[in-house]
Chain A
Amino acid sequence: MNDIALSAQQVVKTFGEGETQVQAVRGVDLEVPQGEVVLIMGPSGSGKTTLLSILGAMLRPTSGRVMAAGSDITALPESKLPRFRAGTFGFVFQDFNLLGALTARENVELALNLAGVTGKPAHLRAEELLEGFGLASRLDFKPHKLSGGEKQRIALARALANRPPVILADEPTANLDSKIGHEIARLLRSAATEEQRAVVIVSHDNRLKEVADRILWLEDGAFRALESMATDPECGMSVDRLGTPHFQIDGQTYYFCSTGCREEFAAGIAAMIRGQPAKHLTAQDRCDW
C-alpha cells in the first residue's frame, strides 16, 4: 500500500459533563493508506457515526489527533474546515442527502463549486462523472424522480467530484436492494483501486466485507480485535466473545448477542434432540428479551 491518506491517533470524544458524561469514542487509532477500503462495523450506538464525523472534520475530538491529506484537522481553525472538507473528503450517506431543489447535475456541480471549481469546468466534470455512472439520461432530473440506486450513484459522483483523497461512506448500501447495493460496493472499491482513494465505510452490511481490504469492529467507542468476534448463530449479529452469553455443545462454543438468542438456540437444540420442531420466533423477538 501507499501513503497514509487518513489517520487517527488516540482519538477520544466525550459528550456531556459529570454524571451525564458519555464517552462515545475511546482512544481510537486508525491509519488508512491510499487505495485501501476499510470497513468499520459494530452494533448501533458503538460510536461509528461519531468516529466518522470526527474523521470527516465535522466534529472535533475531545483529545487526540486526526490527519488527512497531510494536514492536522484538529489543529485547523473552524473557519478553514469547510473548504478543507470540500477538497479532502467525499461523503456518501445512507439517506443519499441530495439537495431536493437541485437536479442530478447541479448536485454534483455544487460540490465542485464549494471547492472553488465553477462555470464550464464544473459543468463538464459533473456531466462526465454522471455519464460514467450510467446517468447520462438523468442529468436534469430532480432527486424525487430517481430510484434509490440512481440517487446513490449521484451521491457517489458528488463524493468523487473534487477527486478527494478520502471517501467516507455511512451505510452506503442500507437503503438499496441487493443488486444495487452490490453495484455501489463495486464503485467504492473501484474508487480505491483505480483512483487510489482511501475509502472508509461504516456499515452493518455484511455484503460490503467482499470489497473491504480491512474490517474493523467498533464497540463501546473502541476497536476490538476481530479474532475475538463471533457470529450469533441465531440472529447473525457479530458479537464479542468476551462477556457475552455463550453455549457449549459437542465441544463447540457458540456466542450470542443476548440471553434470548441463547435460550432460543438451546430450545432448538433440545427440540431437535426430541425430534420436535422448535417454536418459531423472529430474530428481533429473541434479541429483545
Chain B
Amino acid sequence: MVPVARRMLFANRRRALLGVLGVAVALVMALTLDGIFAGSTRQVSRYIDSSPADVIVSEEGVRTIHMSVSVLAGSMVETIADLPGVAWAEPILFASDSVESASGARRPSYVFGYQPGGRGGPASLVAGAEPGPGELVLDESAASELDVRVGGEVQTLGQTWRISGLTTGMTSIVNTTAYVQYEGLAELLGRQGTASYVLVGSAGDPDRVVGEIAQATGQTAQTRARFSAEERAIVREMSTDLMLIMSAAAFAVALAVIGLTLYASVLSRLRDIGVMKALGSGRARTTRLVLVQAVWTTVIALALAVALTYVIGAIVAAAAPDIDLVVEALSVVRIGITAVVISLVGAIAPLFRVWRVDPASVFRRSS
C-alpha cells in the first residue's frame, strides 16, 4: 500500500516538524510533571525503602509515616523480638518539623530517633559520625542548602543540635531527613518508654512474620514493600487533583496543537483528497488518512518528548539534586495512550472537513 497519509503529512516538512514539536512540548510538560511527581513520591518513601527492615510495625490502623501519628508501647519491641521468625526488632521515634540554620534558612524535615549503631539510622554516612547526645545527622543536600557543615549547628524541635555527620539521598523536593539519638528525642518529645514504629528483621518469610506480629500484638504490621506502597499512595492521593489539573492543561495544549496541525495539513491537501475520492477512496479510507496522520504526529512527538524529558531530567539532576525526575515506563504508556486518544479527538474537526470534500471538485480548475 502506498503510505499516502505519511507522505502527505511529511510533504511539507517544516509544517510537520512544527506540529510534532508543538505536540512534543505539550507531552514533555505532561511527562515532566509526571516524572517529578513520581520522583517525589519515591523520595517520600526513601527512608523505608533504604531500611534493612523486612517488616514495619505501627499503631493499629496506622499504615504510613507521612500524615500519621503512631504510638507503640516500648515493651512491644521485646514482645515482637520473641516471636517466631523474627531475627531482630528495633524501635524508632518519629517527629516532623523544620531544620533551621543560624542564618534563618530552613527546610521542612522528618526527624528520626534511633539507637546509634542500630538499624534505624541513615543508610550511609558521607561525612562525620553517628549522632551523640545533642547531635544530629543531616542530609548533605539540605546541609548545602542551609549552608551548614559537620560541626555546625542547626535548630529543630525547639532545640539547637550540633551536626555530627552527613548522609545522602534523603532530601526531596518537599522535605529532608534528620537523625538523632533515640533517647534524646524521646526525652525532648516527652515520650520515654514509647516507640513510633518498630523495625523488624525476619529470619524467614516476611509475610508470615507480619501475620505473627499482628496476631500477637494486635498492631498493624506490614512488609517493607507494602508500607512503602502505602506511603507513596497517600502522597499520590493528596496530590491527585493538582496533578490532574496540570496534566489536563498540558493535554489541552497537545489537543490544540494536534488539531491545528492536522487541520492545516488537511486544508493544504483538499484537492489531493478530492482526487483520492474521485479515484475511489471511500469514507473509511479518507478517515484512516486523517487518523494515521494524527497517530504519526503523536507517536513521533511522544518519542521526542521522552528523549527530551530524559535530557531535562539530567539537567535537573545536575542543577537541583533535590528534584528527582523519574520517567517511568508506566507513565510513558499512560501519557502515550492519552496522547493518542487526544490526537484522535483533535482529528475530529479535520475529519469533518475531509468528509465534506466533493469528489467532483477535481474538475474545477486549480488556480
Binding site for B on A (CB under 8 A): 49, 52-53, 56, 58-59, 79, 82-87, 91, 93-95, 97-102, 106, 109-111, 113-115, 118-119, 158, 170
The residue on A at minimum CB distance from B277 is A82
- Docked-complex contact A87 and B4, CB < 8 angstroms: no
Chain B, residue nearest A98 (CB): B275
The complex places the Cα of A277 from the Cα of B283 at a distance, in Å, of: 63
Q: Which residues of A contact B358 (CB under 8 A)?
A: 58
Indicate with 1 or 0, residue by residue over B271-295, a CB within 8 angstroms of chain A CB atoms.
1100111111111010000000000
State which of B272, B279, B363 has its C-beta within 8 Å of the C-beta of A85.
Answer: B279
Contacting pair A93 B363 (CB below 8 A): yes
User: Is the C-beta of B11 less than 8 angstroms from some C-beta in chain A?
Assistant: yes
Q: How far is the CB of B13 from chain A (nearest CB, A)?
A: 11
Cα separation A115 to B358 with both chains bound (whole Å): 19
Q: Could you list which residues of chain B lie within 8 angstroms of chain A, going by C-beta atoms?
A: 1-2, 4, 7-8, 10-11, 269, 271-272, 275-283, 285, 358-360, 362-363, 365-366
Q: Which of A56, A84, A98, A106 contacts B278 (CB 8 A)?
A: A56
Could you tell me if A100 and B272 are in contact, using CB atoms closer than 8 angstroms? yes
Known contacts A84-B280, A114-B279; can you find 5 more A-B pairs with CB under 8 A? Answer: A85-B279, A94-B365, A99-B4, A106-B7, A113-B1
Instruction: Please classify the interface of chain B as helix (H, G, I), strand (E, B), loop, or mixed, using the class held by over half of its residues.
Output: helix
Contact B360–A106 (Cβ < 8 Å): no
Nearest chain A CB to B273 CB, angstrom units: 9
* Neighbour of A52 across the interface among B269, B285, B363, CB < 8 A: B363
Contacts A101-B7, A106-B7 given: A79-B362 contact, CB under 8 Å? no
CB pair A95–B366 under 8 Å, yes or no, is yes
Find chain A residues with CB under 8 A from B282 CB. Answer: 79, 82-83
Select one of A52, A87, A94, A95 contacting B280, CB under 8 A.
A87
Q: Can you name 10 A-B residue pairings with CB atoms under 8 Å? A: A53-B360, A79-B283, A85-B278, A93-B363, A99-B7, A102-B4, A110-B279, A114-B280, A119-B1, A170-B363
In the assembled complex, the CB of B272 is this many whole angstroms from the nearest CB of chain A, namely 5
Residues of chain B with a CB closer than 8 A to A59's CB: 360
Residues in A whose Cβ lies below 8 Å from that of B278: 56, 58, 85, 91, 97
With A97-B271, A101-B4, A102-B2 already in contact, the answer to whether A83 and B280 are too (CB < 8 A) is yes
A101 touches B362 (CB 8 A): no
Taken together as a complex, chains A and B put the C-alpha atoms of A4 and B1 apart, in Å, by 33
Chain A residue at minimal CB-CB distance from B274? A97
CA distance A111 to B277 in the complex (A): 11
Question: How long is the Cα–Cα vector from A109 to B7 in the complex, in angstroms?
Answer: 14
Contacting residues, chain A, for B1 (C-beta < 8 A)? 113, 118-119
Q: Give 10 nearest A-B pairs by CB, closest first.
A: A86-B280, A101-B11, A82-B282, A114-B280, A53-B360, A101-B7, A58-B360, A97-B275, A58-B359, A106-B2
A72 to chain B, nearest CB (A): 18
CB-CB under 8 A from B269, the residues of chain A are 101
Instruction: For B3, give the chain A residue with the smallest CB separation.
Output: A106
A99 and B359: CB pair below 8 A? no
Q: How far is the CB of B103 from chain A (nearest CB, A)?
A: 64
Per the bound structure, the CA–CA distance linking A118 and B365 in Å amounts to 31
Q: How far is the CA of A53 from the CA of B278 in the complex (A)?
A: 9
Distance in Å from the Cβ of A205 to the closest Cβ of chain B? 15
Distance between Cα atoms of A100 and B4 in the complex (Å): 11
Q: Is the CB of A86 within 8 A of B363?
A: no
The complex places the Cα of A79 from the Cα of B355 at a distance, in Å, of 13
Shortest beta-carbon distance from B269 to chain A in Å: 8
Residues in B neighbouring A98, C-beta threshold 8 A: 275
List chain B residues, Cβ under 8 A from A99. Answer: 4, 7-8, 272, 275-276
Whether the pair A101, B279 counts as a contact (CB closer than 8 A) is no
Which one of B272, B281, B363 contacts A49 once the chains associate, using CB atoms below 8 Å? B363
Chain B residues with Cβ below 8 Å from A52 are: 363
- In the complex, which of the residues B282, B285, B358, B366 has the most CB atoms of chain A within 10 Å of its own CB atom? B282
In the assembled complex, the Cα of A114 lies from the Cα of B271 at a distance in Å of 17
Q: Are B366 and A114 in contact (CB under 8 A)?
A: no
Query: Whose C-beta in chain B lies nearest to the C-beta of A106?
Result: B2
Q: Bound state CA distance, A247 and B1, in angstroms?
A: 62
Contacts of B276 in A (CB 8 A): 99, 110, 114
Name the one of B8, B10, B281, B360 contacting A114, with C-beta atoms under 8 angstroms.
B281
